Amino acid sequence: MIDLHVHSRYSEEGEYSPIELVELCCGQGISMMSITDHNCAKANMEVKTLAEEKGITYIAGIEIDCVYKETKFSVLGYGIDFHHSDFDQIEQNVERQNFQVSLHRLELTQELGFHITENDMWNVSKDCYWKVSWTGGMFAKVLLQKPEYMDHPLLSLYRTGGSRSDDPYTNFCLDFYAQGKLCYSKVEYPALEEVINLIHRNKGIAVLAHPAVNLKGKEFLLDEILRKGIDGIEAFSSYHTPKQAGLFSQIACERHMISTCGSGFYGKMKPLVSIGEYKGLISNKELVKLTNRLLDL
């Protein structure tokens, strides 16, 4: 079993330490794994040796947020030289913007009619690595726990029995804080081409992460993106349907790219995502191709 997309506490909303993730993967019988934190490569330094001691092939990884034609999405980097200062600069770019972006999200949330304070948000983020990054999921967690908002109409969909209650924190984030939504606050991410070049010059391969999510409504951009030097597509993902997984796998095959597989696991903030699980069935032929490519890194 392979899981090439798991998040540690070095990602916003990630629950587990890198070492705990290795133990979880070991318990699930995973033989190859990669920790791909958003805009942070630090987890790789902590677990590569431990994973190999546990009999797990570890592939160094990262997930870098980027922009193409004003559309935000992310690229996974595998087999990277994670010690390089390039990855420190990626992290520092986001960190410099985090607090002002978080304050803007807070202001926009207050404009929805919610009495929510900086202290509320500091309390929910105090144990996080990205302490000054207040995500949409964190706002949902605070609001859904406030007794004065038990009957608030904007929150009813996310409570038990509501149409968006299956994954309330993620759904609230998508509905209010995603690009184009009421509480969206822009972060200046690097351009797609810059990220692909950064991954390549650090000995890695660049893979487009869960495109059905990031390119929803802008699927017409896929062909252009794949012509920019991408090496593969994350076809098999917990965020894809089996049909979508099959489609992206076929596209990758036609373009002589690799198809990768990953859960996108975070922990409690995304309860529908389990480590080692993703939609679609990767064929033995694709698995051999993927494994060989990764082992060559």
HEC-encoded secondary structure of the chain: CEEEEECCCCCCCCCCCHHHHHHHHHHCCCCEEEECCECCCHHHHHHHHHHHHCCCEECCEEEEEEEECCEEEEEEEECCCCCCHHHHHHHHHHHHHHHHHHHHHHHHHHHCCCCCCHHHHHHHHCCCCCCCCCCHHHHHHHHHHCHHHCCCCCCHHHCCCCCCCCCHHHHHHHHHCCCCCCCCCCCCCCEHHHHHHHHHHCCCEEEECCHHHHCCCCHHHHHHHHCCCCCEEEEEECCCCHHHHHHHHHHHHHCCCEEEEECCECCCCCCCCCCCCCCCCCCHHHHHHHHHHHHCC
Question: Has residue 214 got a pLDDT over 90?
Answer: no
Torsion region of 200: left, alpha or beta (phi above 0 gives left; psi -120 to 50 gives alpha) = alpha
Does the pLDDT value for residue 215 go beyond 90?
no
How much is the pLDDT for 69? 92
Sequence-distant (6+) residues with CB within 8 A of 205 are 77, 78, 79, 199, 231, 232, 258, 293, 297
Q: Which is higher by pLDDT, 213 or 96?
A: 96
For tokens 């373009």, the residue is 255
Q: Report the side by side order of strands in the sheet with 57-58.
A: 2-6, 32-35, 57-58
pLDDT of residue 216: 83
The torsion of the CA quartet 143, 134, 131, 264, rounded to 10 degrees, works out to: 100
| pLDDT (0 to 100) of residue 283 | 83
The answer, yes or no, to whether residue 213 has pLDDT greater than 90, is no
Q: Convert the pLDDT of each residue in 247-296 to its tens digit.
A: 999 999 999 999 999 999 999 888 888 999 998 888 888 888 889 888 88
- 134, two tokens: 């207040």
Across the range 85-110, mean pLDDT stands at 96
Its pTM stands at 0.92
Answer whether residue 13 shows pLDDT above 90.
no
Mean pLDDT score, 203-229: 92
- Is the model's pLDDT at 172 over the cut of 90? yes
For residue range 111-134, list pLDDT tens digits in order.
999 999 999 999 999 889 999 999
pLDDT recorded at residue 279: 87
Query: Residue 209 pLDDT more than 90?
Result: yes
Per-residue pLDDT tens for 31-82?
A: 999 999 999 999 999 998 899 899 999 999 999 999 999 899 999 999 999 9
pLDDT one-digit tens code per residue, 81-95: 999 999 999 999 999
pLDDT beyond 90 at 297: no
Q: What integer best gives the mean pLDDT of the chain? A: 93
